[in-house]
Chains A and B, each alone.
Chain A
Amino acid sequence: MIWIDTIIQGILLGGLYALFAAGLSLVFGIMRLVNLAHGDLIVLGAFLILVLVTALGLNPFLATLVAIPLMFALGWGLQLVILNRTLGDDILPPLLVTFGLSIVIQNGLLEGFSADSQRISAGALETASIPLGPVTVGVMPLLTFLSALAVIVALNQLFYRTSLGRAFRATSDDPVTAGLMGIEPNRIFAVATGIAFVVVTIAALYLGTRANFDPTIGPARLIYAFEAVIIGGLGSLWGTLAGGIIIGVAQTVGAAINPEWQILAGHVAFLVVLAVRPRGLFPKGL
């Protein structure tokens, strides 16, 4: 009984991590860009939604819809102006630049919003739940999980059913030859980052409504997102979902044994998967 609940809560938590990770996975998969600012960008998105909610009195879901185009434009511009210059074989430039960005975002938000804990209010939804047989499932966690699922299905559709998706994959395979097809790799990358920022905004909605956030909490969640991406396998979005779920379930199961092991269990699951499958569960090209 308790174990079923533990697993279900773990899967739902995994949905949250997968949602955090999906944008990262997209960017990592297409341009091998390790974005250390991803966690802070989610926090930035949450603040944007918060501002829209408080300033315009919008419902958080509506506010997210308003935030999405803004964040898309931000991602697009960021990639075009800064991140494209860092791409290449060497992994250090993107690492350092996005780390710098992470510091800039965190401290910029601190200046703008102070260190106060904030939360986006989702009203009665916050504590609503649905009884599902022996377990009770919170509506927000469920929505989070379903959103993660929807994001991953949508990204897969985009990837495998559209001409833009073909261009993404081609550029990711071989940017030089993609250029010979008339694809501008820099613009394609900018669009990809823009889309990743849309996913970031959706993640921000759930980060902001789930619990408190403040300008400094980004990095703590980043590592789980990275773990999900890596054990999922480079470029596999379903893998990212699976990776998120593995970490989520490992955490709740670890906690059920003893809360001391909760976070450790997630990391250990990550290391175990890597020891067995260094390229992740579903590496591209298999």
Chain B
Amino acid sequence: MTTTSQKWTVETRTAASTVFAVIAAVAVIAAFAAPLFVSRSMLQDLFFILTMLMLAQNWNLLAGYAGLVSVGQQAFVGAGAYAMFAVVILGGLDPVLALPVAGIFAAALAIPTAFFVFRLDGAYFAIGTWVIAEVFGLLFAQWKALGGGTGTSLPRDATRDMFGVPFVKELFDTKSSAAADIVTYWLALVLALATVGFIYWLLRSKQGIGLASVRDNLQAARSVGVNASRLKLVVYVATAFGTGLLGALIYIQTARISPDAAFSVTDWTAYVIFIVVIGGIGTLEGPFVGVLVFFILQNLFADYGSWYLLILGLIGIVVMLFAPRGLWGLFTDKTGIQLFPIRRRLAGGPLVAHSREDTHG
């Protein structure tokens, strides 16, 4: 090969993404400062939005990027939450320290789970993950020390004395429960940044482009050396980690667990799928849009009980039929704007076409 010493470079940024990066940086700073100037109820709404966003980003990575359409992510929410309760109640650990334990526990469970579900494809995979989640739920329902099918509550002192709470209580001069809200909110914010950052980093890394190639054409990807099954396994375990950790965080705030709640397919997977699909699957931006839509719908209609759910169902159907790439998909199709660009553009060197005679001299 002729190696001319042209300076080839690769770019991923776009004008929109640069502007967005600046706005995002400001937003992140504002978000960290939020406890200073927003009401507690707003803070809790933000916590809800952040946790749903993270669940959605995790599921999106799994289904949208790795093609693993799981309807059993509640398995990891529940496992993480139960792990947290176990180490806090039975082990006396601080709930904040329990978070990584919960993530690791969920990831560890994901490995034997993968043994079963990775034998399955498509719809079979989806149902398989669902069954596994049911099995987890039933097994945790046998854990008598944590209340079996009854469930149990986090001792009040556990969150009251949680890492950071006394400090924040002093700082903001509020009651413990409000201070705990601030701490969990900050944790959620840090985790959300980490999650989005990790996924964005992954997608821009070598592994990310490998995933994209697998999604486009499995045979061809394997033929150029991409180890598709390992990549998928890594993503599966990584999302299990993230989902389990989140499960623990969510249940620090809820403070009460029962198998039915922690392994609820509706709360932890169906709504999440709804969010991702409404927003736009296979994009980092989609879950942001989806979670906002979901939040607004919930605030507007949740008090209408069954009508609310009915409307949610109808919206899901309509979006899937008429905008299968979600609201963000509609938007990018019109504008071409991407906030998290992952395209690698070749630049530098003489990008003019070389005729073969030139190269071969």
Contacts and interface: CB of A to CB of B under 8 A. Distances in A.
Nearest to B141: A260
Interface in A93-113: 93, 95-97, 99-104, 106-108, 110-111
B281 interface: yes
Contacts of A214: none
B126 A34 contact: yes
A137 to B, nearest CB: 29
A223 B314 contact: no
Given A86-B320, A97-B321, A34 B135 contact: no
A111 B306 contact: yes
A278 B313 contact: no
A171 to B, nearest CB: 18
A96 B320 contact: yes
B285 interface: no
A110 B316 contact: no
A106 B306 CA distance: 8
B116 A271 contact: yes
A17 to B, nearest CB: 14
Contacts of A103: 309-310, 312-313, 316
B260 to A, nearest CB: 11
B134 A267 contact: yes
B321 A86 contact: yes
B28 interface: no
Contact of B123 (A32, A107, A267, A268): A32
Contacts of B128: 230, 271, 274
Please classify the interface of chain B as helix (H, G, I), strand (E, B), loop, or mixed, using the class held by over half of its residues. Answer: helix
B277 A107 contact: no
A223 B320 contact: no
B63 A92 contact: yes
A82 interface: yes
Interface residues of B, number: 40
B324 interface: yes
Please classify the interface of chain A as helix (H, G, I), strand (E, B), loop, or mixed, using the class held by over half of its residues. Answer: helix
A101 B281 CA distance: 20
B104 interface: no
A263 interface: yes
Nearest to A85: B321
B85 to A, nearest CB: 20
Interface in B114-159: 115-116, 119-120, 122-124, 126-128, 130-132, 134-135, 138-139, 142
Nearest to A98: B317
A278 B130 CA distance: 16
A286 B313 CA distance: 39
A267 B134 CA distance: 8
A268 B131 CA distance: 9
A206 interface: no
B274 interface: yes
B316 to A, nearest CB: 4
Contact of B127 (A108, A111, A230): A230
Interface of B: 63, 69, 71, 115-116, 119-120, 122-124, 126-128, 130-132, 134-135, 138-139, 142, 265, 270, 273-274, 277, 281, 306-307, 309-310, 312-317, 320-321, 324
